[in-house]
């Protein structure tokens, strides 16, 4: 890996740890004792959460966007060659954030769609923040693959937000696994055609024995880990020529 990686993290911190660990482990697997050059800008999640805007109102996201464009400027000043945001929700604003970014940004959306090309599933449950679950971040890419996005009711989205706050943002993902499975079965069912997309970077630690796997079966359900797909794309960008880094607009 010859290109310096910039990570915007802290959204939340368990996911940032997962990104850092996976990138370093990949370097170790490749041989040697070195680790990739990397700078992490860890943001205060309480501030970014408070700055979230309203879907459909671009101006309401101005303060939120500035947290990321400022962080990207700091990564650029630290001589990073490209950046990645270790969180899914900010990717709903990636088109705008990218325009003001001095660095190319590796998109988690592009990474997910690229890894689903061979999927036989026809329905997808998007599991993430309220912004991600209500938004259309993955819709077009999944539609192009013949996968229907299932839409939960607002009450169900609120219930999932409560799960995130109770278990996953606080680093208690394993304790929250049982509740996560109950939620999926009650809201989306357990059809063989269903793919549960872990579209929040704090969800993957609920499956410690599946770390590093993009698609896996657990508790009678099929899951797709967007975080691992994103990390693989970051590793590819770190090893590629500058003009090959994937920049996504979400």
Cα gap 52→50, rounded to integer Å:
6
Instruction: Examine the domain organization and report whether 82 and 118 are in the same domain.
Output: no
Cα gap 145→5, rounded to integer Å:
30
Instruction: Examine the domain organization and report whether 196 and 238 are in the same domain.
Output: no
Instruction: Examine the domain organization and report whether 176 and 240 are in the same domain.
Output: no
What is the number of structural domains in the chain? 2
Instruction: Examine the domain organization and report whether 160 and 87 are in the same domain.
Output: no
Instruction: Examine the domain organization and report whether 18 and 103 are in the same domain.
Output: yes
* Residue 12: alpha-carbon gap to chain centroid: 11
Cα gap 167→202, rounded to integer Å:
9
140 or 30, greater pLDDT: 140
Instruction: Examine the domain organization and report whether 61 and 114 are in the same domain.
Output: no
Residue 80 lies in a domain: yes
pLDDT on residue 170: 82
pLDDT on residue 31: 64
Decide: 106 and 237 in contact? Cβ < 8 Å: yes
pLDDT on residue 27: 79
CATH number of the domain within which 213 lies: 3.40.50.1860
Cα Dmax for the chain: 50
Instruction: Examine the domain organization and report whether 215 and 159 are in the same domain.
Output: yes
pLDDT band at 249 (very low <50, low <70, confident <90, very high): very low
CA atoms lying within 13 Å on the CB side of residue 215: 15
The residue ranges of DSSP E strands in the chain, in sequence order, are 5-9, 38-42, 82-85, 105-106, 123-127, 148-150, 194-198, 215-218, 221-225
pLDDT tens-digit readout, 158-197: 999 999 999 988 889 999 999 999 999 999 998 999 999 9
Instruction: Flag the least confident range among 175-184, 202-211, 219-228.
Output: 202-211
Helices 173-188 and 154-163, packing angle to 10 deg? 170
CB count within 10 Å of CB 24 equals 14
Residue 217 lies in a domain: yes
Cα gap 204→76, rounded to integer Å:
29
Domain that holds residue 24: 5-107+230-244
pLDDT on residue 246: 46
Instruction: Examine the domain organization and report whether 222 and 234 are in the same domain.
Output: no
Instruction: Examine the domain organization and report whether 129 and 221 are in the same domain.
Output: yes
Instruction: Examine the domain organization and report whether 66 and 80 are in the same domain.
Output: yes
Instruction: Examine the domain organization and report whether 139 and 202 are in the same domain.
Output: yes
Residue 250 lies in a domain: no
Q: Quick one: average pLDDT of 69-74?
A: 98
pLDDT tens-digit readout, 116-175: 988 999 999 999 999 999 999 999 999 999 999 999 999 999 999 999 999 988 889 999
pLDDT on residue 250: 39
Indicate whether 34 pLDDT > 90: no
33 or 113, greater pLDDT: 113
Q: DSSP state, 200?
A: S
Helices 226-239 and 108-115, packing angle to 10 deg? 100
- In 3D space, the residue among 82, 64, 125, 90 whose CA is nearest the CA of residue 12 turns out to be 90
Instruction: Examine the domain organization and report whether 64 and 118 are in the same domain.
Output: no
Q: Quick one: average pLDDT of 210-236?
A: 95
Which residue shows structure tokens 């939120």? 64
Q: Quick one: average pLDDT of 19-30?
A: 84
Indicate whether 1 pLDDT > 60: no
Helix H segments across 3-93?
Answer: 13-29, 45-50, 62-77
Residue 125 lies in a domain: yes
Instruction: Flag the least confident range among 33-37, 102-106, 115-119, 226-230.
Output: 33-37
Indicate whether 242 pLDDT > 70: no
């Amino acid at each position: 890996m010859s290109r310096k990686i910039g990570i915007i993290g802290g959204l939340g911190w368990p996911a940032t740890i997962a990104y850092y660990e996976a990138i370093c482990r990949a370097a170790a697997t490749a041989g040697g004792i070195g680790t990739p050059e990397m700078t992490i800008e860890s943001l205060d999640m309480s501030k970014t959460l408070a700055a979230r805007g309203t879907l459909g109102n671009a101006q309401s996201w101005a303060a939120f966007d500035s947290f990321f464009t400022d962080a990207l400027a700091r990564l650029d000043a630290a001589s990073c060659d490209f950046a990645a945001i270790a969180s899914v929700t900010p990717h709903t604003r990636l088109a705008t954030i990218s325009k003001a970014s001095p660095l190319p940004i590796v998109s988690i959306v592009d990474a997910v769609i690229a890894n689903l090309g061979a999927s036989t599933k026809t329905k997808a449950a998007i599991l993430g923040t309220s912004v991600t679950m209500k938004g259309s971040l993955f819709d077009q890419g999944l539609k192009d693959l013949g996968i229907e996005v299932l839409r939960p009711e607002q009450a169900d989205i609120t219930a999932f937000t409560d799960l995130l706050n109770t278990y996953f943002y606080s680093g208690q993902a394993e304790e929250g696994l049982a509740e996560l499975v109950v939620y999926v079965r009650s809201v989306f069912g357990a059809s063989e055609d269903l793919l549960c997309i872990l579209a929040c970077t704090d969800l993957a630690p609920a499956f410690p024995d599946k770390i590093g796997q993009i698609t896996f079966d657990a508790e009678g359900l099929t899951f797709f880990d967007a975080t691992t797909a994103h990390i693989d794309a970051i590793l590819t960008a770190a090893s590629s020529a500058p003009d090959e880094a994937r920049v996504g607009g979400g």
